[in-house]
Structure 1
Amino acid sequence: MYDVTRSIPMIPDKKLIRLRFEQAADTYEQHATVQHRVAEHLLTMLAKAAPDLSPQQALEIGCCTGLLTQRIFERFPGLTHLTISDLVAAFEECICRKIGPKAEDMTFVAGDIESVRLPGDYDLIISSSTLHWVHDFPAVCDKLHRHLNANGIFALSLYGKENLREIREVAGVGLVYRTLDQVLTVMSERFEILAAEEALEVLWYADPLTVLKHLRATGVNSIGQKAWTRRQVTDFIHRYQHQFGGEQGVRLSYHPLFVIARPKP
Protein backbone atom coordinates (compact mmCIF):
# COMPACT_ATOMS: atom_id res chain seq x y z
CA MET A 1 0.00 0.00 0.00
CA TYR A 2 0.91 3.64 -0.24
CA ASP A 3 2.77 5.35 2.55
CA VAL A 4 0.31 8.00 3.70
CA THR A 5 2.81 9.48 6.15
CA ARG A 6 4.66 11.23 3.30
CA SER A 7 3.50 14.11 1.13
CA ILE A 8 6.29 14.50 -1.39
CA PRO A 9 6.93 13.05 -4.85
CA MET A 10 8.80 9.77 -4.62
CA ILE A 11 11.67 8.34 -6.67
CA PRO A 12 10.73 4.93 -8.08
CA ASP A 13 12.25 2.04 -6.13
CA LYS A 14 13.25 -0.42 -8.87
CA LYS A 15 13.42 -3.39 -6.49
CA LEU A 16 9.92 -2.66 -5.24
CA ILE A 17 8.63 -2.15 -8.79
CA ARG A 18 10.02 -5.53 -9.79
CA LEU A 19 8.46 -7.20 -6.74
CA ARG A 20 5.02 -5.64 -7.19
CA PHE A 21 4.77 -6.46 -10.89
CA GLU A 22 6.00 -9.99 -10.26
CA GLN A 23 3.29 -10.41 -7.64
CA ALA A 24 0.70 -9.09 -10.10
CA ALA A 25 1.66 -11.41 -12.97
CA ASP A 26 -1.47 -13.56 -12.67
CA THR A 27 -3.90 -10.64 -12.35
CA TYR A 28 -2.33 -7.91 -14.48
CA GLU A 29 -4.03 -8.40 -17.84
CA GLN A 30 -7.47 -8.96 -16.35
CA HIS A 31 -7.32 -5.61 -14.54
CA ALA A 32 -5.10 -3.55 -16.88
CA THR A 33 -8.04 -1.96 -18.69
CA VAL A 34 -6.30 1.30 -19.47
CA GLN A 35 -2.99 -0.34 -20.34
CA HIS A 36 -4.72 -2.48 -22.98
CA ARG A 37 -6.32 0.58 -24.56
CA VAL A 38 -3.09 2.56 -24.38
CA ALA A 39 -1.11 -0.18 -26.13
CA GLU A 40 -3.68 -0.44 -28.91
CA HIS A 41 -3.83 3.34 -29.40
CA LEU A 42 -0.05 3.56 -29.53
CA LEU A 43 0.01 1.05 -32.39
CA THR A 44 -2.78 2.95 -34.16
CA MET A 45 -0.81 6.18 -33.93
CA LEU A 46 2.31 4.40 -35.14
CA ALA A 47 0.48 3.11 -38.22
CA LYS A 48 -0.72 6.62 -39.09
CA ALA A 49 2.58 8.40 -38.41
CA ALA A 50 4.82 5.82 -40.11
CA PRO A 51 2.60 3.89 -42.55
CA ASP A 52 5.55 2.45 -44.48
CA LEU A 53 7.35 1.12 -41.43
CA SER A 54 8.31 -2.53 -41.86
CA PRO A 55 10.85 -3.30 -39.14
CA GLN A 56 13.19 -6.25 -39.28
CA GLN A 57 14.66 -5.75 -35.81
CA ALA A 58 12.61 -4.25 -32.96
CA LEU A 59 12.96 -3.60 -29.24
CA GLU A 60 10.09 -3.50 -26.75
CA ILE A 61 10.80 -1.93 -23.35
CA GLY A 62 8.71 -2.96 -20.35
CA CYS A 63 6.96 -5.95 -21.89
CA CYS A 64 5.25 -7.07 -18.64
CA THR A 65 3.04 -10.08 -19.46
CA GLY A 66 3.13 -9.44 -23.19
CA LEU A 67 -0.09 -7.62 -24.02
CA LEU A 68 1.83 -5.35 -26.44
CA THR A 69 4.32 -8.05 -27.48
CA GLN A 70 1.63 -10.17 -29.06
CA ARG A 71 0.23 -7.15 -30.92
CA ILE A 72 3.69 -6.26 -32.29
CA PHE A 73 4.08 -9.66 -33.94
CA GLU A 74 0.55 -9.41 -35.33
CA ARG A 75 1.07 -5.87 -36.66
CA PHE A 76 4.46 -6.55 -38.23
CA PRO A 77 4.41 -10.07 -39.75
CA GLY A 78 7.72 -9.39 -41.51
CA LEU A 79 9.55 -8.83 -38.23
CA THR A 80 12.55 -11.15 -38.10
CA HIS A 81 13.53 -10.58 -34.47
CA LEU A 82 12.08 -8.87 -31.42
CA THR A 83 14.14 -8.06 -28.34
CA ILE A 84 12.00 -7.54 -25.25
CA SER A 85 13.14 -6.12 -21.94
CA ASP A 86 11.63 -6.03 -18.47
CA LEU A 87 12.69 -5.78 -14.83
CA VAL A 88 10.88 -9.04 -14.09
CA ALA A 89 12.76 -12.04 -15.47
CA ALA A 90 9.76 -14.31 -14.82
CA PHE A 91 7.77 -12.52 -17.53
CA GLU A 92 9.80 -14.34 -20.18
CA GLU A 93 7.87 -17.54 -19.46
CA CYS A 94 4.53 -15.68 -19.62
CA ILE A 95 5.37 -14.24 -23.01
CA CYS A 96 6.69 -17.47 -24.47
CA ARG A 97 3.40 -19.14 -23.60
CA LYS A 98 1.45 -16.28 -25.16
CA ILE A 99 3.27 -16.00 -28.49
CA GLY A 100 3.94 -19.70 -29.01
CA PRO A 101 6.21 -20.47 -32.01
CA LYS A 102 7.09 -16.78 -32.37
CA ALA A 103 9.24 -17.16 -29.24
CA GLU A 104 11.93 -18.49 -31.57
CA ASP A 105 12.17 -14.96 -33.02
CA MET A 106 12.47 -13.30 -29.61
CA THR A 107 15.28 -12.45 -27.20
CA PHE A 108 14.38 -11.59 -23.60
CA VAL A 109 16.65 -9.16 -21.75
CA ALA A 110 15.99 -9.06 -18.01
CA GLY A 111 16.97 -5.86 -16.23
CA ASP A 112 16.58 -2.12 -15.88
CA ILE A 113 16.50 -0.31 -19.22
CA GLU A 114 18.58 2.45 -17.65
CA SER A 115 21.54 0.13 -17.09
CA VAL A 116 21.03 -3.08 -19.07
CA ARG A 117 23.18 -3.70 -22.14
CA LEU A 118 21.12 -3.76 -25.33
CA PRO A 119 22.28 -6.41 -27.80
CA GLY A 120 21.76 -4.56 -31.09
CA ASP A 121 20.37 -1.72 -33.18
CA TYR A 122 16.73 -1.50 -34.13
CA ASP A 123 14.30 -0.31 -36.78
CA LEU A 124 11.62 0.15 -34.13
CA ILE A 125 11.86 0.84 -30.41
CA ILE A 126 8.49 0.74 -28.69
CA SER A 127 7.40 1.05 -25.07
CA SER A 128 3.92 1.25 -23.59
CA SER A 129 3.03 2.29 -20.02
CA THR A 130 6.60 1.99 -18.76
CA LEU A 131 9.01 4.91 -19.10
CA HIS A 132 7.38 7.07 -16.41
CA TRP A 133 9.12 4.68 -13.97
CA VAL A 134 12.68 5.59 -15.04
CA HIS A 135 14.91 7.85 -12.95
CA ASP A 136 16.60 9.72 -15.81
CA PHE A 137 14.34 10.05 -18.82
CA PRO A 138 16.76 12.27 -20.85
CA ALA A 139 19.55 9.70 -20.41
CA VAL A 140 17.21 6.90 -21.52
CA CYS A 141 16.32 8.90 -24.64
CA ASP A 142 20.03 9.35 -25.40
CA LYS A 143 20.65 5.64 -24.95
CA LEU A 144 17.76 4.61 -27.18
CA HIS A 145 18.83 7.10 -29.85
CA ARG A 146 22.17 5.32 -30.03
CA HIS A 147 20.43 1.99 -30.64
CA LEU A 148 17.95 3.22 -33.25
CA ASN A 149 18.77 2.91 -36.92
CA ALA A 150 18.79 6.09 -38.99
CA ASN A 151 15.35 5.44 -40.52
CA GLY A 152 13.94 3.86 -37.38
CA ILE A 153 11.00 4.89 -35.23
CA PHE A 154 10.67 5.42 -31.48
CA ALA A 155 7.07 4.95 -30.25
CA LEU A 156 6.18 5.33 -26.61
CA SER A 157 3.36 5.86 -24.19
CA LEU A 158 3.85 6.87 -20.60
CA TYR A 159 1.78 8.70 -18.02
CA GLY A 160 1.45 12.42 -17.32
CA LYS A 161 0.74 14.88 -14.55
CA GLU A 162 -2.90 13.92 -13.93
CA ASN A 163 -2.13 10.23 -13.54
CA LEU A 164 -3.59 8.70 -10.36
CA ARG A 165 -4.19 12.22 -9.06
CA GLU A 166 -6.83 10.93 -6.65
CA ILE A 167 -4.26 8.72 -4.89
CA ARG A 168 -1.78 11.58 -4.77
CA GLU A 169 -4.31 14.02 -3.29
CA VAL A 170 -5.67 11.60 -0.69
CA ALA A 171 -2.54 9.65 0.25
CA GLY A 172 -0.04 12.44 -0.34
CA VAL A 173 2.42 10.46 -2.48
CA GLY A 174 3.04 9.86 -6.15
CA LEU A 175 5.60 9.74 -8.92
CA VAL A 176 7.07 12.83 -10.53
CA TYR A 177 5.14 12.81 -13.80
CA ARG A 178 5.88 15.11 -16.75
CA THR A 179 3.52 17.10 -18.92
CA LEU A 180 3.39 16.26 -22.62
CA ASP A 181 5.28 19.48 -23.38
CA GLN A 182 8.03 18.48 -20.96
CA VAL A 183 8.32 15.03 -22.56
CA LEU A 184 8.51 16.59 -26.03
CA THR A 185 11.15 19.10 -24.91
CA VAL A 186 13.38 16.25 -23.72
CA MET A 187 12.80 14.11 -26.77
CA SER A 188 13.28 16.94 -29.25
CA GLU A 189 16.96 17.06 -28.36
CA ARG A 190 17.49 13.75 -30.15
CA PHE A 191 14.30 13.06 -32.12
CA GLU A 192 12.01 14.61 -34.69
CA ILE A 193 8.46 14.38 -33.37
CA LEU A 194 6.06 12.85 -35.88
CA ALA A 195 2.95 12.68 -33.69
CA ALA A 196 2.01 13.43 -30.08
CA GLU A 197 -1.23 13.09 -28.16
CA GLU A 198 -2.54 12.88 -24.64
CA ALA A 199 -5.77 11.59 -23.14
CA LEU A 200 -7.53 11.36 -19.80
CA GLU A 201 -9.01 7.98 -18.90
CA VAL A 202 -11.37 7.90 -15.91
CA LEU A 203 -12.30 4.57 -14.37
CA TRP A 204 -15.06 4.10 -11.79
CA TYR A 205 -14.99 1.62 -8.94
CA ALA A 206 -17.51 0.60 -6.31
CA ASP A 207 -15.49 1.99 -3.40
CA PRO A 208 -11.95 3.08 -2.39
CA LEU A 209 -10.95 -0.43 -1.29
CA THR A 210 -11.71 -1.67 -4.79
CA VAL A 211 -9.39 1.04 -6.13
CA LEU A 212 -6.58 -0.27 -3.94
CA LYS A 213 -7.25 -3.82 -5.09
CA HIS A 214 -7.07 -2.64 -8.71
CA LEU A 215 -3.71 -0.97 -8.12
CA ARG A 216 -2.34 -4.08 -6.43
CA ALA A 217 -3.65 -6.34 -9.21
CA THR A 218 -1.83 -4.28 -11.86
CA GLY A 219 1.42 -3.79 -9.93
CA VAL A 220 0.93 -0.03 -9.81
CA ASN A 221 1.14 0.04 -5.99
CA SER A 222 4.92 0.34 -6.32
CA ILE A 223 5.43 3.59 -4.48
CA GLY A 224 5.99 3.30 -0.71
CA GLN A 225 6.94 0.22 1.23
CA LYS A 226 5.46 1.02 4.62
CA ALA A 227 2.17 -0.76 5.30
CA TRP A 228 -0.78 1.25 6.51
CA THR A 229 -2.33 0.95 9.94
CA ARG A 230 -6.04 0.21 10.22
CA ARG A 231 -6.61 3.84 11.13
CA GLN A 232 -4.78 5.02 8.01
CA VAL A 233 -6.85 2.70 5.83
CA THR A 234 -10.05 4.01 7.40
CA ASP A 235 -8.91 7.59 6.89
CA PHE A 236 -8.02 6.88 3.24
CA ILE A 237 -11.44 5.35 2.57
CA HIS A 238 -13.28 8.27 4.16
CA ARG A 239 -11.28 10.96 2.39
CA TYR A 240 -11.32 9.24 -0.99
CA GLN A 241 -15.07 8.69 -0.83
CA HIS A 242 -15.67 12.30 0.21
CA GLN A 243 -13.40 13.87 -2.44
CA PHE A 244 -13.93 11.57 -5.41
CA GLY A 245 -17.22 9.77 -4.86
CA GLY A 246 -20.25 10.12 -7.12
CA GLU A 247 -23.28 8.31 -8.47
CA GLN A 248 -21.03 5.87 -10.35
CA GLY A 249 -18.89 5.06 -7.31
CA VAL A 250 -15.40 6.52 -6.91
CA ARG A 251 -13.14 7.58 -9.74
CA LEU A 252 -9.53 6.91 -10.64
CA SER A 253 -7.74 8.88 -13.36
CA TYR A 254 -5.10 7.78 -15.85
CA HIS A 255 -3.29 10.32 -18.04
CA PRO A 256 -1.56 8.58 -20.96
CA LEU A 257 0.85 10.49 -23.21
CA PHE A 258 1.77 9.19 -26.67
CA VAL A 259 4.73 10.12 -28.86
CA ILE A 260 5.93 8.83 -32.23
CA ALA A 261 9.39 10.07 -33.28
CA ARG A 262 12.34 9.36 -35.51
CA PRO A 263 16.01 10.00 -34.72
CA LYS A 264 17.78 13.17 -35.70
CA PRO A 265 21.23 12.65 -37.24
Structure 2
Amino acid sequence: MLSTRTRAGKSIASRFSAAAGTYDNHAGVQARVASQLTALLGTDRPVGSILEVGCGTGLLTKKLARIFPSAQICATDISSKMIFNAQKHFRSKKSILWIAGDFREVLDLGRFDLIVSSSALHWITPLEKTFRKISSHLKKNGLLVFGIMLKGTLAELHEARRNTVPAKAVQKELPPEKEVLNALKAARLQIVRKQRATYRDSFRSGAHCLKSLHEQGVTGGPFSSGRTPLTRSELTELVSYYDKNYKCVDGVYATYNVLYIVAEKI
Protein backbone atom coordinates (compact mmCIF):
# COMPACT_ATOMS: atom_id res chain seq x y z
CA MET A 1 0.00 0.00 0.00
CA LEU A 2 1.12 3.57 -0.40
CA SER A 3 3.31 5.07 2.27
CA THR A 4 1.37 6.42 5.23
CA ARG A 5 3.45 9.57 4.87
CA THR A 6 1.50 10.51 1.74
CA ARG A 7 -2.06 11.77 1.62
CA ALA A 8 -3.14 8.84 -0.55
CA GLY A 9 -1.45 6.39 1.80
CA LYS A 10 -3.22 7.85 4.81
CA SER A 11 -6.55 7.64 2.96
CA ILE A 12 -6.00 3.96 2.14
CA ALA A 13 -4.86 3.09 5.66
CA SER A 14 -7.83 4.93 7.15
CA ARG A 15 -10.37 3.19 4.92
CA PHE A 16 -8.96 -0.28 5.54
CA SER A 17 -8.89 0.34 9.28
CA ALA A 18 -12.50 1.51 9.20
CA ALA A 19 -13.46 -1.66 7.32
CA ALA A 20 -11.48 -4.11 9.47
CA GLY A 21 -14.62 -5.40 11.20
CA THR A 22 -16.65 -5.92 8.01
CA TYR A 23 -13.98 -6.92 5.49
CA ASP A 24 -14.29 -10.70 5.75
CA ASN A 25 -18.05 -10.61 5.16
CA HIS A 26 -17.59 -8.95 1.76
CA ALA A 27 -14.19 -10.17 0.51
CA GLY A 28 -15.40 -13.09 -1.61
CA VAL A 29 -13.10 -12.41 -4.54
CA GLN A 30 -10.14 -11.73 -2.27
CA ALA A 31 -10.75 -15.08 -0.56
CA ARG A 32 -10.68 -16.79 -3.96
CA VAL A 33 -7.41 -15.09 -4.80
CA ALA A 34 -5.88 -16.25 -1.51
CA SER A 35 -7.02 -19.82 -2.19
CA GLN A 36 -5.56 -19.79 -5.69
CA LEU A 37 -2.24 -18.53 -4.37
CA THR A 38 -1.98 -21.52 -2.03
CA ALA A 39 -2.39 -23.78 -5.07
CA LEU A 40 0.59 -22.03 -6.68
CA LEU A 41 2.87 -22.19 -3.65
CA GLY A 42 3.89 -25.84 -3.82
CA THR A 43 5.87 -27.66 -1.15
CA ASP A 44 8.74 -28.99 -3.25
CA ARG A 45 11.36 -26.70 -1.71
CA PRO A 46 12.14 -25.97 1.95
CA VAL A 47 10.59 -22.75 3.29
CA GLY A 48 11.85 -21.59 6.65
CA SER A 49 10.89 -17.92 6.47
CA ILE A 50 7.95 -16.09 4.87
CA LEU A 51 7.10 -12.41 4.45
CA GLU A 52 3.49 -11.56 3.69
CA VAL A 53 2.90 -8.08 2.29
CA GLY A 54 -0.60 -6.72 2.96
CA CYS A 55 -1.91 -9.51 5.19
CA GLY A 56 -5.24 -7.78 5.89
CA THR A 57 -7.41 -9.87 8.21
CA GLY A 58 -5.29 -12.97 7.66
CA LEU A 59 -7.13 -14.73 4.82
CA LEU A 60 -3.85 -15.93 3.31
CA THR A 61 -1.88 -15.95 6.57
CA LYS A 62 -4.04 -18.76 7.95
CA LYS A 63 -3.34 -20.86 4.87
CA LEU A 64 0.40 -20.17 5.04
CA ALA A 65 0.55 -21.27 8.67
CA ARG A 66 -1.19 -24.51 7.75
CA ILE A 67 0.94 -25.28 4.67
CA PHE A 68 4.26 -24.30 6.31
CA PRO A 69 3.72 -25.09 10.02
CA SER A 70 7.40 -24.78 10.94
CA ALA A 71 8.12 -21.58 9.00
CA GLN A 72 8.68 -18.21 10.65
CA ILE A 73 6.08 -15.82 9.20
CA CYS A 74 6.34 -12.03 9.17
CA ALA A 75 2.92 -10.55 8.32
CA THR A 76 2.69 -6.85 7.48
CA ASP A 77 -0.18 -4.51 6.72
CA ILE A 78 -0.59 -0.76 6.57
CA SER A 79 -3.69 -0.96 8.80
CA SER A 80 -3.14 -1.64 12.50
CA LYS A 81 -6.80 -2.60 12.90
CA MET A 82 -6.53 -5.19 10.12
CA ILE A 83 -3.49 -6.61 11.93
CA PHE A 84 -5.43 -6.69 15.20
CA ASN A 85 -8.24 -8.67 13.58
CA ALA A 86 -5.80 -11.05 11.89
CA GLN A 87 -4.08 -11.79 15.20
CA LYS A 88 -7.31 -13.14 16.65
CA HIS A 89 -6.90 -16.23 14.46
CA PHE A 90 -3.46 -16.97 15.88
CA ARG A 91 -3.62 -16.67 19.65
CA SER A 92 -1.42 -19.76 20.10
CA LYS A 93 0.80 -19.24 17.04
CA LYS A 94 4.07 -17.78 18.30
CA SER A 95 6.02 -18.07 15.05
CA ILE A 96 4.25 -15.09 13.45
CA LEU A 97 5.66 -11.58 13.71
CA TRP A 98 3.02 -8.92 13.07
CA ILE A 99 4.06 -5.51 11.77
CA ALA A 100 1.59 -2.66 11.27
CA GLY A 101 3.03 -0.29 8.69
CA ASP A 102 4.42 0.03 5.19
CA PHE A 103 6.86 -2.85 4.72
CA ARG A 104 9.12 -0.58 2.65
CA GLU A 105 9.75 1.59 5.70
CA VAL A 106 10.68 -1.20 8.12
CA LEU A 107 14.44 -0.98 8.58
CA ASP A 108 15.41 -4.55 9.49
CA LEU A 109 13.03 -7.07 7.96
CA GLY A 110 15.81 -9.44 6.90
CA ARG A 111 15.72 -11.88 3.99
CA PHE A 112 13.13 -14.55 3.29
CA ASP A 113 12.76 -17.81 1.40
CA LEU A 114 9.28 -16.81 0.27
CA ILE A 115 7.43 -13.51 -0.08
CA VAL A 116 3.70 -13.59 -0.74
CA SER A 117 0.97 -11.03 -1.30
CA SER A 118 -2.72 -11.41 -2.04
CA SER A 119 -4.78 -8.58 -3.55
CA ALA A 120 -2.49 -5.91 -2.12
CA LEU A 121 0.44 -5.03 -4.37
CA HIS A 122 -1.61 -2.80 -6.68
CA TRP A 123 -1.87 -0.37 -3.76
CA ILE A 124 1.91 -0.13 -3.38
CA THR A 125 3.13 2.22 -6.08
CA PRO A 126 5.28 2.67 -8.06
CA LEU A 127 5.45 -1.05 -8.81
CA GLU A 128 9.07 -1.11 -9.98
CA LYS A 129 10.24 0.42 -6.71
CA THR A 130 8.04 -2.01 -4.78
CA PHE A 131 9.43 -5.05 -6.57
CA ARG A 132 13.00 -3.84 -6.08
CA LYS A 133 12.31 -3.57 -2.36
CA ILE A 134 10.77 -7.04 -2.34
CA SER A 135 13.79 -8.41 -4.20
CA SER A 136 16.09 -6.95 -1.55
CA HIS A 137 14.26 -9.02 1.08
CA LEU A 138 14.43 -12.29 -0.87
CA LYS A 139 17.22 -14.80 -0.47
CA LYS A 140 18.94 -15.88 -3.68
CA ASN A 141 16.56 -18.16 -5.58
CA GLY A 142 13.80 -17.15 -3.18
CA LEU A 143 10.27 -16.95 -4.55
CA LEU A 144 7.76 -14.13 -4.83
CA VAL A 145 4.19 -15.41 -5.20
CA PHE A 146 1.37 -12.91 -5.56
CA GLY A 147 -2.02 -12.09 -6.98
CA ILE A 148 -2.60 -8.50 -8.12
CA MET A 149 -5.67 -6.69 -9.42
CA LEU A 150 -5.25 -5.41 -12.98
CA LYS A 151 -6.75 -2.69 -15.12
CA GLY A 152 -10.32 -3.70 -15.95
CA THR A 153 -11.15 -4.59 -12.35
CA LEU A 154 -14.47 -2.95 -11.45
CA ALA A 155 -14.69 -1.74 -15.04
CA GLU A 156 -18.47 -1.45 -14.72
CA LEU A 157 -18.22 0.96 -11.81
CA HIS A 158 -15.59 3.09 -13.52
CA GLU A 159 -17.62 3.21 -16.73
CA ALA A 160 -20.71 4.21 -14.78
CA ARG A 161 -18.73 6.96 -13.11
CA ARG A 162 -17.31 8.27 -16.40
CA ASN A 163 -20.78 8.35 -17.94
CA THR A 164 -22.55 10.03 -15.04
CA VAL A 165 -19.91 12.25 -13.44
CA PRO A 166 -17.08 12.59 -16.01
CA ALA A 167 -15.54 15.53 -14.17
CA LYS A 168 -14.95 13.31 -11.13
CA ALA A 169 -13.26 10.27 -12.65
CA VAL A 170 -10.90 8.25 -10.45
CA GLN A 171 -7.41 9.73 -10.15
CA LYS A 172 -5.50 6.66 -11.29
CA GLU A 173 -6.06 3.34 -13.10
CA LEU A 174 -4.92 -0.06 -11.93
CA PRO A 175 -1.83 -1.36 -13.74
CA PRO A 176 -2.09 -3.36 -16.98
CA GLU A 177 -0.32 -6.72 -17.10
CA LYS A 178 2.59 -5.35 -19.14
CA GLU A 179 3.42 -2.79 -16.47
CA VAL A 180 3.59 -5.52 -13.82
CA LEU A 181 5.80 -7.74 -15.98
CA ASN A 182 8.17 -4.88 -16.86
CA ALA A 183 8.49 -3.92 -13.19
CA LEU A 184 9.37 -7.52 -12.26
CA LYS A 185 12.01 -7.66 -14.98
CA ALA A 186 13.56 -4.39 -13.82
CA ALA A 187 13.81 -5.83 -10.30
CA ARG A 188 15.58 -8.97 -11.62
CA LEU A 189 12.70 -11.21 -10.63
CA GLN A 190 12.33 -14.00 -13.18
CA ILE A 191 8.83 -15.26 -13.89
CA VAL A 192 8.44 -18.97 -13.24
CA ARG A 193 4.69 -19.11 -13.71
CA LYS A 194 2.04 -16.66 -14.88
CA GLN A 195 -1.72 -17.01 -14.84
CA ARG A 196 -4.68 -14.71 -15.55
CA ALA A 197 -8.17 -15.03 -14.11
CA THR A 198 -11.38 -13.05 -14.40
CA TYR A 199 -13.95 -13.25 -11.62
CA ARG A 200 -17.47 -11.91 -11.56
CA ASP A 201 -19.20 -11.00 -8.32
CA SER A 202 -22.91 -10.26 -8.09
CA PHE A 203 -24.94 -7.92 -5.90
CA ARG A 204 -28.61 -7.20 -5.41
CA SER A 205 -28.17 -3.68 -6.78
CA GLY A 206 -25.65 -1.00 -7.57
CA ALA A 207 -26.18 0.42 -4.10
CA HIS A 208 -25.34 -2.96 -2.56
CA CYS A 209 -22.22 -3.14 -4.73
CA LEU A 210 -21.02 0.24 -3.46
CA LYS A 211 -21.81 -0.73 0.13
CA SER A 212 -19.86 -3.97 -0.23
CA LEU A 213 -16.83 -2.14 -1.64
CA HIS A 214 -17.05 0.41 1.16
CA GLU A 215 -17.08 -2.35 3.79
CA GLN A 216 -14.02 -3.94 2.18
CA GLY A 217 -12.18 -0.64 2.57
CA VAL A 218 -11.40 -0.29 -1.12
CA THR A 219 -13.09 3.08 -1.61
CA GLY A 220 -10.03 5.02 -0.48
CA GLY A 221 -6.97 5.99 -2.51
CA PRO A 222 -6.46 7.12 -6.12
CA PHE A 223 -7.84 3.96 -7.77
CA SER A 224 -11.27 4.39 -6.20
CA SER A 225 -11.88 8.08 -5.70
CA GLY A 226 -11.73 11.37 -7.55
CA ARG A 227 -10.14 14.54 -6.28
CA THR A 228 -13.48 15.61 -4.85
CA PRO A 229 -16.14 13.27 -3.40
CA LEU A 230 -19.40 12.55 -5.18
CA THR A 231 -22.48 14.37 -3.98
CA ARG A 232 -25.59 12.50 -2.89
CA SER A 233 -27.35 13.29 -6.17
CA GLU A 234 -24.31 12.13 -8.18
CA LEU A 235 -24.23 8.86 -6.25
CA THR A 236 -27.92 8.35 -6.95
CA GLU A 237 -27.34 8.92 -10.66
CA LEU A 238 -24.36 6.55 -10.69
CA VAL A 239 -26.33 3.79 -8.94
CA SER A 240 -29.24 4.22 -11.33
CA TYR A 241 -26.88 3.87 -14.32
CA TYR A 242 -25.28 0.79 -12.77
CA ASP A 243 -28.63 -0.88 -12.13
CA LYS A 244 -29.72 -0.26 -15.71
CA ASN A 245 -26.55 -1.30 -17.55
CA TYR A 246 -24.99 -4.19 -15.60
CA LYS A 247 -27.86 -6.53 -14.88
CA CYS A 248 -27.50 -10.23 -14.15
CA VAL A 249 -29.76 -12.96 -12.78
CA ASP A 250 -28.85 -12.08 -9.18
CA GLY A 251 -29.08 -8.31 -9.65
CA VAL A 252 -25.96 -6.60 -10.97
CA TYR A 253 -22.38 -7.77 -11.50
CA ALA A 254 -18.82 -6.53 -11.04
CA THR A 255 -15.71 -7.87 -12.76
CA TYR A 256 -12.25 -8.47 -11.29
CA ASN A 257 -9.13 -9.10 -13.39
CA VAL A 258 -6.35 -10.84 -11.48
CA LEU A 259 -2.78 -11.68 -12.46
CA TYR A 260 -1.04 -14.48 -10.57
CA ILE A 261 2.74 -14.62 -10.61
CA VAL A 262 5.41 -16.94 -9.28
CA ALA A 263 8.81 -15.26 -9.69
CA GLU A 264 12.31 -16.21 -8.58
CA LYS A 265 15.13 -13.92 -7.51
CA ILE A 266 18.05 -14.46 -9.87
Could you say whether these structures have the same fold, taking a TM-score greater than 0.5 normalized by the shorter chain as the test? yes
* Distance across 2 between alignment mates of 1:117 and 1:226: 35
AA aligned to 2:257 is H
Note the residue ranges of structure 2 that are not aligned, 5 or more in a row.
Answer: 1-5, 163-168
Which of the residues 83, 95, 98 maps onto 1:92? 83
Shift of 1:59: 0.3
Residue equivalent to 1:72: 64
- 212-221 vs 110-119, which moves further: 110-119
Which of the residues 207, 210, 220 maps onto 2:208? 210
Q: How many residues align?
A: 249
Q: Does the C-alpha gap of structure 1 residues 234 and 92 become closer, same or farther in structure 2, counting only changes over 3 Å? A: closer
Residue equivalent to 1:63: 55
The answer to whether the Cα contact below 8 Å between 2:21 and 2:85 also exists between their aligned partners in 1 is no
Residue equivalent to 1:165: 155
Matched, 1:186 2:178: no
Aligned CA RMSD, in angstroms, stands at: 1.8
* Distance across 1 between alignment mates of 2:209 and 2:201: 9
The answer to whether the Cα contact below 8 Å between 1:32 and 1:218 also exists between their aligned partners in 2 is yes
AA aligned to 1:36 is A
The answer to whether the Cα contact below 8 Å between 2:75 and 2:96 also exists between their aligned partners in 1 is yes
* Distance across 2 between alignment mates of 1:230 and 1:98: 38
Cα distance per residue 1:195-223 (max 9 Å; x no partner): 11111111111111000111011111113
Q: TM-score, normalised by structure 1?
A: 0.88
* Distance across 1 between alignment mates of 2:216 and 2:236: 23
Residue equivalent to 1:120: 110
| Partner-residue secondary structure (3-state), 1:90 | helix
Shift of 1:135: 1.9
Residue equivalent to 2:3: none
Q: TM-score, normalised by structure 2?
A: 0.88
Residue equivalent to 1:151: 141
The answer to whether the Cα contact below 8 Å between 1:201 and 1:254 also exists between their aligned partners in 2 is yes
Determine which structure has greater relative contact order: mean sequence separation of CA pairs < 8 Å that are 6+ residues apart, divided by chain length.
1
* Distance across 2 between alignment mates of 1:118 and 1:205: 43
Cα distance per residue 1:88-120 (max 9 Å; x no partner): 122332222102211x21212221234333421
| Partner-residue secondary structure (3-state), 1:156 | strand
The answer to whether the Cα contact below 8 Å between 1:198 and 1:255 also exists between their aligned partners in 2 is yes
Shift of 1:84: 1.1
Residue equivalent to 1:231: 233
* Distance across 1 between alignment mates of 2:7 and 2:120: 12
AA aligned to 1:255 is N
Residue equivalent to 1:245: 247
Cα distance per residue 1:155-177 (max 9 Å; x no partner): 11110111011111112334422
AA aligned to 2:178 is D
Which of the residues 6, 13, 18 maps onto 1:23? 18
